[in-house]
Amino acid sequence: TSTQTCSEFMSTQNWWVNPAVPPSAAMELAATERQSQLTKPPGALGRLEHIAIALAAIQGQLKPQLEQIFIAVFAGDHGIVEEGISAFPQAVTVEMQRNFINGGAAISVLAKELGASLEVVNTGTHADPADLPGVVHAPIAQQTANFLLQAAMDEAQWQQALTLGQDSVARALEHKAQLYIGGEMGIGNTSAATAMLAALTGYSVADITGPGTGLNQQGVLHKVKILQQALD
């Protein structure tokens, strides 16, 4: 959607619950028709054709543009790690931020190949990465609270976290981004994600819990037990 529309969208109260501007049905039809006019067998480019059509509908233009790509990775520590649900210590969270900035992570390589801007946002870690050049240092707390025992964040922290995301999108708009890619990392993140997915969808914790960064079978069973207790 246009920069102006995005800006207006984010400036409204409770912006995160507002529906996004829907893709243009007319442009989707026009882009589909254009595919049939190109000199190639129908469907020869596979999923690329569907992606091109979807982007045309989202951007509202027949020939979508992806010259300006903005990638943001939000890093933070999770209090649920106290329950032994991860195979790695929380020190890895900061070291991965260092790796992002130094170009050693997979997303760093992909961003370089795409010519994309890569932003790393520290939302709160036990180790202090403030001396890392290129990291947006905006800690809410050293970590979220252990959600087995209490709410992971209070209302003020939750609002602050949403604002970090909003600010990142605003920076992407300043870069005239045509595509925003958001990601996150942090030891314990799959436990938080699994708990949220189970709470929002009703899926069984046992069915959707995985090994994360490499738990063995016993570790996964312990993780399932902790997450189920937390949800209960």
Q: Tell me the residue type at 154.
A: D
Minimal CA–CA distance to 198: which of 147, 145, 130?
Answer: 147
Digitized pLDDT (tens) for each residue of the chain, 232 residues in all: 445 456 665 666 677 788 888 999 999 999 999 999 999 998 899 999 999 999 999 999 999 999 999 999 999 999 999 999 999 999 999 999 999 999 999 999 999 999 999 999 999 998 887 778 889 999 999 999 999 999 999 999 999 999 999 999 999 999 999 999 999 999 999 999 999 999 999 999 999 999 998 999 999 999 999 999 999 9
Gap between the Cα atoms of 53 and 31, Å rounded? 5
Alpha helices in the chain (DSSP H): 3-11, 25-37, 47-59, 91-102, 106-114, 155-174, 189-201, 205-208, 217-231
| Close Cβ partners of 160 (under 8 Å, ≥ 6 residues apart) | 140
How far CA 55 is from CA of 27, 29, 99, 179, in Å, comes to 10, 12, 31, 9
pLDDT computed for residue 19 by the predictor: 84
Contact between 75 and 132 (Cβ < 8 Å): no
Gap between the Cα atoms of 232 and 225, Å rounded? 11
Minimal CA–CA distance to 194: which of 206, 213, 209?
Answer: 209
| Close Cβ partners of 129 (under 8 Å, ≥ 6 residues apart) | 75, 94, 97, 98, 122, 135, 137
End-to-end CA distance of the chain: 41
Q: Which two tokens stand for residue 208?
A: 């959707």
Tokens 């989707």 belong to which residue? 28
